[in-house]
Amino acid sequence: MKSVFTAMLSVLVAAPVFALDIGESMPKVRNSLTNIDGTKISLDEMKSDKGILVFFTCNHCPYSKAWEARYTKLGNEMMKKGVKVVAINSNDPTKQKEDDIGPMKDKAKRLGMKFPYTVDETSDFARSFGATRTPEFFFFNGEGKLAYKGAFDDNAENAKGVKANYLRDAMTATMNKKAVKVAETKSIGCGIKFRERRRTADIY
């Protein structure tokens, strides 16, 4: 009996988690995001022929911190070019208190974020995007299809040592209607501290 249980458990563990593939549309999430200024943001209603950059980040994670100046700069710059940019924090602040709204406001101010830094109050945005870690970036092209997902660049620890600007290159290529050379990358990151699911019916 126990071995059956073990086998079932290993199947569960081995089952691939949901992941959004390149070319897919932005997932629909029933909830809206709440910006740090209290306004509600609906990704569904967001449209831009230049594309939409959605990324999952947080306050506490050293990988998010290592990239924060770089992603703020790129986000602000891309907004000027007409790209919509939204940063999402899906972490449960009861599990990671530095990820509460107060420190989020401080972070956005300190970095000079011109784009919304939002709270994913159920962590369902992270679930629907198949996001697993912070930071993790998703860029949708003008038709709303996923053109890039993954890391910001190839060197979190040392900005001067960067050899490949994955996200910037993918966004630039997409906006110029060119093929994205590297559409999917991975990086180490802090696992998202998901909020517990209240009702399964709320998901997807």
Partner 1 sequence: MNASKIFKIAIVLVAVFVLIFVLAQRLHQKSDLATNDPQGLLITPIKAEDILEIVRKKSGKVTVVNFWATFCGPCVEEFPHFIEARKEFQKEGMELVFVSLDFQSDIEEVRRFLAEQRVDFETFIKNQPDGDFIKAMHPEWSGAIPVTLVYNAKAELKYFIPKALTFEELKEKIMAVLKSNG
Q: Taking the complex as a whole, how short is the minimal distance between the CB of residue 90 and partner 1, in angstroms? A: 12
Nearer to partner 1, 35 or 124 (CB): 124
165 binds partner 1 (CB under 8 A): no
Closest Cα to residue 130, out of 56, 185, 35, 197? Answer: 56
Write down how long the chain is: 204
Q: Which of 57, 90, 132, 174 binds partner 1 (CB under 8 A)?
A: 132
Are 129 and 20 a contacting pair, CB within 8 Å? yes
Burial of 130 (0-12, 13-18, 19+ CB in 10 A): middle
Nearer to partner 1, 22 or 81 (CB): 22
How many binding residues for partner 1 (CB under 8 A)? Answer: 30
Q: Taking the complex as a whole, how short is the minimal distance between the CB of residue 155 and partner 1, in angstroms? A: 7
Site for partner 1 in 5-64 (CB under 8 A): 6, 9-10, 13-14, 16-17, 60-62
Query: Which residues 6+ apart lie within 8 Å of 146 measured at CB?
Result: 20, 21, 22, 23, 24, 25, 26, 138, 139, 140
Site for partner 1 in 135-164 (CB under 8 A): 151, 154-157
1 binds partner 1 (CB under 8 A): no
109 binds partner 1 (CB under 8 A): no
* Phi, psi dihedrals of residue 148, rounded to the nearest 5°: -155, 140
Q: Which of 49, 186, 197, 204 binds partner 1 (CB under 8 A)?
A: 186
Closest Cα to residue 151, out of 66, 83, 59? Answer: 66
Nearer to partner 1, 81 or 186 (CB): 186
What span, in angstroms and rounded, lies between the C-alpha atoms of 162 and 154? 6
108 binds partner 1 (CB under 8 A): no
Closest Cα to residue 191, out of 147, 126, 142? Answer: 126
* Site residues for partner 1 per CB under 8 A: 3, 6, 9-10, 13-14, 16-17, 60-62, 66, 95-96, 132-133, 151, 154-157, 185-193
